[in-house]
Amino acid sequence: MADRVVLAYSGGLDTSVAISWIGKETGAEVVAVAIDLGQGGEDMNDIRQRALDCGAVESVVVDARNEFADEYCLPTIQTNALYMDRYPLVSAISRPLIVKHLVEQARSHGGTIVAHGCTGKGNDQVRFEVGFNTLAPDLEVLAPVRDYAWTREKAIAFAGENAIPITVSKKSPFSVDQNVWGRAVETGFLEDLWNAPTKDVYSYTEDPTVNWQAPDELIISFDKGRPVAIDGRPVSVLEAIEELNRRAGAQGVGRLDVVEDRLVGIKSREIYEAPGAMVLICAHQELEHVTLERELGRYKRQMEQRWSELVYDGLWFSPLKEALDVFVAKTQERVSGEIRLVLHGGGISVNGRRSAESLYDFNLATYDEGDTFDQSSAKGFVQLHGLSSMISGKRDRGL
C-alpha cells in the first residue's frame, strides 16, 4: 500500500502544485485537508473539488469557524496580543488549529506523513513543524516548497505544464493568507518598502474616506473578557468578529502596513487587514483599564508581549504559553462591562466605559465638591516614595 500524505490545503498555488508534485515524485497518495476558518472568498466545496482535480485521492473540508473564534481568537483578545505592538497574529493563531486537524485527519485516514506548502523564509514552516513534532512526533513532515527550493515562477510553470487548475498568474503576484480574524498580503511590488499599497491590495476594508460623513458608534459588551453583545444584541465570538469586520471595515479600520521581524531572522513587509480584531482588542484593553487592579494590569501588559512572541514564534503548544493562558484566564474574572466607541476615518475612538466591576471611584477621582480623597496624606507618601532616590542623589552629588 502506498504511503499517504495528509496535506494542509489552501486551494492556492503552492498547495495545488504540491498535490501533483508529491504524487509524481514520491508515489504517495495525497489526502488534502482544507480548514474553513471563515476566510470567505471561494466556496469551500469548490476548493475541495480542486484538490481532487489536482490529484488528491481524498479531499476533506473541516468547518472550524466557531472553534477558531472561541479557542484561538478569544485568547488573543483576552491577552490583547499584538506582536511588535502592531500585528494581531492573523496567520500565527490559525496554524496550531490547522496542525491539530491535520494530525486528526492523519490518524483517521491512515496517513504517515503530513505536508505543508510553506517556504524556507517564513514563520509558518516553524509553526507547522513544531506543532506536528509536539502533537504527533511519529509523523514525518514533508515541505516540498521549502526543501526543493520552489519559486513562484517555477510553481506557475509546473502548474501550466501539468494542467493544474490555479487562479494565480505572473500578473497577480500577491501572496494572500486570510481568515475571519484578518488578512495578510505580501510579495510583489510590496517588497519595495517605499512603494505605497494600492487599492487592489485591500479586500476587507474600504478606503477610510469613503464613509467619512457617516461615523459608526457602537457598544461592545463583555462578560469575563468575552465579547457577548454588540449594541445590546447577543452575539457569539464568531458573530462579533464578523459583524465588526463589516462595520469597522466599512470605516477603513484595521489597515496595517508593517515591517516585522520574522523568526528566521529577516525583516519582511506585510500588509494586514484586521478590522474586527483591532476593534475587539482596543475595546477589551479599555475595559481592563477600568477593571484590573494597577499592579495586575502592569504585569499583564508585560506578559502580553511575551505571549504574542511565543505565538508568533510557533510555540502555541509550549509549556510556557500554556502556563500564561492560566494566568490570563484568572485576570479575566472581573473584566465585564461595556465599551462605547466610534469608528471613523480608519480610527477607533473610545468615548464611554461602564462596568459593575469598575475600580474607578468617582468620589476619589473628582476635583469638585464631594471629593473624598484625603490630600493631606499625599505629602508623606511622596516623601517616602522618593526617599531612596533622594539618598542616592545626595551621595552622587557629594552632599
What value, to the nearest 5°, has the Cα angle with vertex 179 and ends 273 and 29? 140
Q: What is the mean pLDDT of residues 253-259?
A: 97
Concerning whether 14 is annotated as a catalytic residue, the answer is: yes
Counting every residue, how long is the chain? 399
- Annotated catalytic residue within 48, 50, 65, 95: 95
Check whether 88 has a pLDDT greater than 80: yes
Q: Are 102 and 8 in contact (CB under 8 A)?
A: yes
Select the highest-mean-pLDDT range: 116-130, 174-188, 298-312.
298-312
Model confidence at 369: pLDDT above 90: no
pLDDT bracket for residue 1 (50, 70, 90): low
Q: At what angle do helices 94-108 and 124-135 cross, to 10 degrees?
A: 50
**Lowest mean pLDDT, pick from 100-109, 122-131, 172-181, 376-385:** 172-181
At residue 26, the pLDDT reads 87
Residue 320 near residue 310 (C-beta atoms within 8 A): yes
Note the Cα 363 to chain centre separation in Å.
40
The rounded mean pLDDT for the chain is: 93
Which member of 10, 14, 50, 94 is catalytic? 14
pLDDT of residue 322: 97
CA–CA separation, 316 and 321 (whole Å): 6
pLDDT of residue 11: 84
**What is the pLDDT at residue 142?**
94
Mean pLDDT of 85-92: 96
pLDDT mean over 339-364:
96
CB-CB contact of 68 with 96 (8 Å): no
If one compares 91 and 16, the residue with the highest pLDDT of the two is: 91
| Residue whose grid cell is 552632599 | 399
CB 283 within 8 A of CB 226: no
392 is catalytic: no
Stretch 245-256: mean pLDDT:
98
CA 130 to chain centre: 18
Q: Is the dihedral of CA 32, 118, 258, 328 positive or negative?
A: positive
Active-site residue flag, 59: no
Mapped onto helix, strand or coil, the DSSP state of residue 274 is: coil
Give the separation between CA 107 and CA 394, rounded to whole angstroms. 70
- In this prediction, residue 251 has a pLDDT band, given cuts at 50, 70 and 90, of very high
Over residues 45-60, the mean pLDDT reads 92
Q: How many angstroms separate the CA atoms of 112 and 31, rounded? A: 11
Select which of 16, 91, 94, 175 is catalytic. 175
Query: Does pLDDT of 37 surpass 90?
Result: yes
Between 25 and 346, the higher pLDDT residue: 346
C-alpha closest to that of 333 among 293, 364, 372: 293
Torsion of CA 34, 40, 43, 49, to 10 degrees: -30
Residue 157 confidence (pLDDT): 81
Residues 7 and 132 sit within 8 Å (Cβ to Cβ): no
Q: Is 313 a catalytic residue?
A: no
Choose the catalytic residue: 48, 124, 177, 308: 124
Judge whether 165 and 53 are in contact, CB under 8 Å. Answer: yes
**R_g of the chain, CA atoms, integer Å:** 25
Strand partners, 115: 7, 142
Bridge partners, 29 (sequence order): 4
Q: How many CA atoms lie within 13 A of 172 on its CB side?
A: 9
- The answer to whether residues 243 and 231 touch, using CB atoms and an 8 Å cutoff, is no
Please report which confidence band the pLDDT of residue 364 belongs to, taking 50, 70 and 90 as the band edges: confident
What share of the chain in percent tops pLDDT 90? 76
Q: Which residues contact 12 (CB under 8 A, 6 or more apart)?
A: 117, 166, 167, 168, 176
In this model, does residue 311 exceed pLDDT 90?
Answer: yes
What does the pLDDT read at residue 149? 73
Q: 199: how many CB neighbours lie within 10 A of its CB?
A: 7
**Res 167: pLDDT:** 61
Per DSSP, which regions of the chain are E strands?
4-8, 29-36, 58-63, 113-115, 140-142, 175-179, 182-186, 216-223, 226-230, 233-234, 255-261, 267-273, 337-344, 347-354
Cell of 379: 505629602
Give the residue with greater pLDDT, 354 vs 54. Answer: 354
DSSP states along 105-120: HHHHTT-SEEE----S
Averaged pLDDT for residues 200-220: 96
Q: Report residue 347's pLDDT band, with 50, 70 and 90 as the boundaries.
A: very high
